[in-house]
Amino acid sequence: MRRYLAAYRVCLRIAVRQATTYRASFVLSSLIALAANLAFPLVTVLIYGSGAGFPGWTADEVLLIQAVFTLSTGLSGMVLGAVVWVTTLRVREGTLEVVLLKPLRPLPFIVLTTVQPESAGVGLGGAVLMGWAASRSVHGLTAAGVLAFLGLFVAGLCVMAGVALIMAATSFRWVGNARLPEIADSVHAFGRHPLRVFPGAVQGAVTFVVPVAMVGFYPASALLGREAAGMWPAAAMCVAFLAGGVWLYHRQIRNYQGVGG
């Protein structure tokens, strides 16, 4: 464990140093990443601005869902954002040996050594938006509500990590497919809207099968005091989902063959 932390500290220092060396481009890419993530809250604003909206939800409440989603994207991106493309790249180039030759377990090694500081901007932006939206939409915050939020938010992070690992594991089979992250992004889209807009079967699927609703919708609901049925069993599912992702990743590493020639 100490060895992993030491490796992480070194990698973090390198990442920060790189970011400060190219600070103009770092700031720019952080801003671009943030702005791209704020496109969806923008759509919400435009929809409500046109006088329409999601039945039963105020604009601020929907924005809160999307702010929580953005915060989760930022936090998980900082730690796990690079796992998919690093695995994809290494499998494609046949350089995963570099990782496999290290006296550390491959998955934690890749996770710890691929820091993505740009995501910090996304997380920060999400936090600011969350504070703003919460101040306008959350009335009578209770300690229980905050605790429920934190628990569900962590469960949501598990889902983000699980999806990333499933995509990374897929890259062992679907070699060189740089478009795998798009699949993850598209599935996430179900998590940043009020769940009720989707039909029952879809609600069930994004709560219990691929529980992306946990990324934005459920934690925000807890903050708003809108307890939703099935929220806690779903949270347990999220942890299982992450475990499944880890298991799949390790299983697929066995399929790694390197590049011949």
* Interface positions with another protein (CB under 8 A): 24-25, 28-29, 32, 35-36, 39, 42-43, 46-47, 49-55, 174, 176-180, 182-183, 185-187, 189-190, 193-194, 196-199, 202, 261
Instruction: Specify the DSSP class assigned to residue 103.
Output: S
Closer residue to another protein (CB): 54 or 208: 54
**Of residues 111 and 160, the one with the C-beta less far from another protein:** 160
Q: Which is nearer to another protein, 146 or 202 (CB)?
A: 202
Q: How far is the CB of 10 from another protein (least distance, A)?
A: 26
Give the nearest distance from C-beta 228 to another protein in angstroms: 17
Q: Which is nearer to another protein, 88 or 252 (CB)?
A: 88
Given the complex with another protein, which of 20 and 135 has the nearer CB atom? Answer: 20
Residue 49, both tokens: 């601005």
For residue 145, the minimal CB distance to another protein (Å) is 26
Q: How far is the CB of 48 from another protein (least distance, A)?
A: 9
**How many Å from the N-terminal Cα to the C-terminal Cα in the chain?**
36
Neighbours of 138 (CB within 10 A): 17
Distance separating alpha carbons of residues 105 and 42, to the nearest angstrom: 41
Decide: residue 217, CB within 10 A, 0-12 exposed, 13-18 middle, 19+ buried. buried
Find the shortest distance in angstroms from Cβ 141 to another protein.
27
Q: Residue written as tokens 């598209």?
A: 186
In 3D, which of 198, 197, 196, 237 has the Cα closest to residue 214?
Answer: 237
